[in-house]
Each structure stands twice: as C-alpha cells, then as structure tokens.
Amino acid sequence: MSFVIETSGLSKSFGPVRAVDSISLSVRQGEIYGVVGLNGAGKTTTIRALLGMVRPSSGSVKVMGQPVGPNGRGPWQRVGYIVETPAAYPELTVTENLEIARRLHRVPDRNAASRVIEHLGIAPYAGRKAGTLSTGNLQRLGLARALLHEPDVLIMDEPTSGLDPNQIREVRDLIRELGRTKTILLSTHILQEVEAVASRAILISGGRIVFDGGIDRALTGPMLSGLFEYRLETFEQNGRRFVSFG
C-alpha cells in the first residue's frame, strides 16, 4: 500500500537535544490521522520536518510519494498547512492577506479568497487588519490560507489553539467535512480533539512514539494508565471532560 504521508526513522537533534527520535508513521489517502503529545514532545518538530521546514538529522520523509528535504522539492501545490500560531501581515486586511496567498499559490480563481472567508465564517472580519484580530480569528485566517488553493493534503498543528468552545466545534465539523475529500494530519495535546475526528493516531513523549494505532484503543483505561508518567491531566469545559497532556 502506498501512503500519502510517510516517515521512516525520522530523527531531529538540536545540539545535544534529541527533539524527535526515530518516528515512523504512515497516513493513508482520505484518512484523518492524529499526532498527540504534551508541549515539547516533538509534535511540531515532526510536522516541520514533514513540510521541509527543518532538515532531519536522519531518516526520511515522503509526502504524496515525493521526498521532502534538500534533494526533494515536495508537492507543495497540493498541500495546505497551519503550523503553531499563524503568521499574517498585521497591517493588511484579512482579504488582502488571502489575496497575497492566492497569488503566491498561483490560484487562478479570483474569488478564492471570498470563498474561504465565507466557508470559515470570517466574512464580518474580511476588511479588518490582521493585527487587530483575536487569537481565534487569526487562527481561522491561518486555516483559510491553508485551504485557499484547495489542497489534497492538509497538515495542521494545534488547529483549535486559542479558539472558544463554539469555534472548536466549528473547526471539528470543518475537519470532518474536509476529511471526506482530503487527507488530514493534525496534532494536539488533547486526546478528545483527535477522538472527535480521527481514526488513527500516534502518541509521542520525549520525541518517541509510545502508542500507534486506532484512536479507540488510545482511549481505553489500560492505555491511559500506562501514560500517567507522561503527566496526563483532565479538565472540564462546558460540562464535558477532556483528557490533556499538560
């Protein structure tokens, strides 16, 4: 079977610190796949390696069958991504930011910006400067930019970060909807964020995979009890109980 996203023995060191240690994962076409772990576990470094933003110390990365790294350009016209806090030109409006992205991606549809603005419910903020947006709306601007060129693959690092409960539900619904036609890899430190949308996941601690399999297995009692040494925490939000890596 060929995989849309694949790593083999992926490792990355920053000086003496081993941020990612022998990560091997494979994501099938049309799958929503989760990467779960606490802050500093290696999630973001793994995603940056998938996107060619950092060079692995060892191992290999392929996206849509193409090598990612110094010897491979990668299929970036078919990939959308959002990594950590989205960047935007603060003095430009939401529409202007997306119009720049449209031109950089060479998207011929001149209505692409207005289409994603409407899709993500940020039309009331279309004329507002990005520097004045709340964290939640800035996150949605990042999602809009990731979707602007209608990618086949979507890679998302903490896509619900900074969102209120209503916005979180909206993003979950959007991810489910997008998962009907796209391959999605998303990272989070909250297990239920992945449970709500994904079928498979890996759990990372200290740069290593400590679990790889179906999300239902990751949420069983024995599995969770084995992870308490990784500072598993719970919290409540709007009457719902969440499990989080602190």
Query: What angle is formed at CA 179 by the lines to CA 42 and CA 21, rounded to 5 degrees?
Result: 15
Higher pLDDT among residues 189 and 222, named by residue: 189
Give the mean pLDDT of the chain.
85
Distance CA 176, CA 39 (A): 25
Distance CA 69, CA 164 (A): 36
Structure pTM? Answer: 0.84
Query: What sign does the CA torsion over 23, 185, 187, 158 have?
Result: positive
Distance CA 80, CA 172 (A): 17
pLDDT tens sequence across 70-123: 665 668 889 999 987 778 999 999 999 999 999 998 999 999 999 999 988 899
Strand pairing class (240-245; 208-214): unpaired
Residue 160 identity (one-letter amino acid): T
List alpha helices for the chain, DSSP H.
43-50, 94-104, 112-119, 135-147, 165-178, 191-195, 215-218, 221-225
Neighbour count for residue 131 (Cβ, 10 Å): 11
Of 120, 141, 121, the C-alpha closest to 129 is 141
Element (H, E) at 77: none
Neighbour count for residue 147 (Cβ, 10 Å): 21
pLDDT of 231 strictly over 70: no
240 strand-pairing partners? 237
pLDDT tens sequence across 34-51: 999 888 899 999 999 999
- What is the rounded average pLDDT of the residues 131-138? 88
8 A C-beta contact, residue 208 and residue 202 = no
pLDDT at 236: 56
- What is the rounded average pLDDT of the residues 215-244? 52
